[in-house]
Amino acid sequence: MEAAHSPAQSGWPGATQALLTTVIIAVFVVTFIVQAFQIPSPSMENTLLVGDYLLVDKLRYGSGFFDQLMPYHTVQRGDIIVFHYPVDPTQHFVKRVIGVPGDHLRLINRKVYINGNPITENYVHYISNQHDPFRDDFPKVNIPVPGLDGKWWLQMRKLVDDGQLIVPDGYYFVMGDNRDDSQDSRYWGFVPRANIVGRPLVIYWSVKSNSDDMPYAPSPGDKLLHLAYAVTHVVQITRWNRTLRIIY
């Protein structure tokens, strides 16, 4: 006669299996479907703010595992994308696509022209009243400026024709919506198609970035203090009008 198993003994395998299944699903989702990102800089204001936490759709452009399994969208002018920063691929940037392969692009007094035609950009935010020839009348091949990547400076000079920058096949020109305060393709070059991670879907949480009570977190110990403060003051620090906002 077989010995009866105690509830604790019989429950452990099932609980372990359920936990492993949950972990596998979570890893699959994070690896292939969505990924969380935080906005660390003001370059996309006012579309995205410092303290916004995003969920990014990694399937939209069909990169990686799912290329052959399902239809995907092409990268369109005006899309907001998350990508590996070409100068340092360990970093993730978020910008808006302004030029797609084959486009002839230029800025005249901040206004973007694509293939000779001005485009409407209702999302653009300006913070400066001072004119910057390189930033506002791009491309300028004879004005090296601070922050300009040297390799890009040399490449750009070969891709300018009649005052317009030609976007090569397989690459994209991106800019921040906060047009006066954005280190973007003007300063370091194109985004290769392979560097694109996906498109932001939703702001799942947004935290006030200018709270005087919020402790600064430069070290691991301070980060724990920062996290503890956030957990205990979640109601006060949350920007409720931005949380769960769909990104367009």
Q: Which positions are annotated as active-site residues?
A: 43, 95
With CA atoms as reference, report the closest residue to 247 among 55, 14, 25: 55
Biggest CA pair distance of the chain: 91
- Cβ 221 vs Cβ 228: under 8 Å: no
With CA atoms as reference, report the closest residue to 185 among 149, 209, 159: 149
- Cβ 236 vs Cβ 207: under 8 Å: no
With CA atoms as reference, report the closest residue to 98 among 200, 180, 172, 47: 172
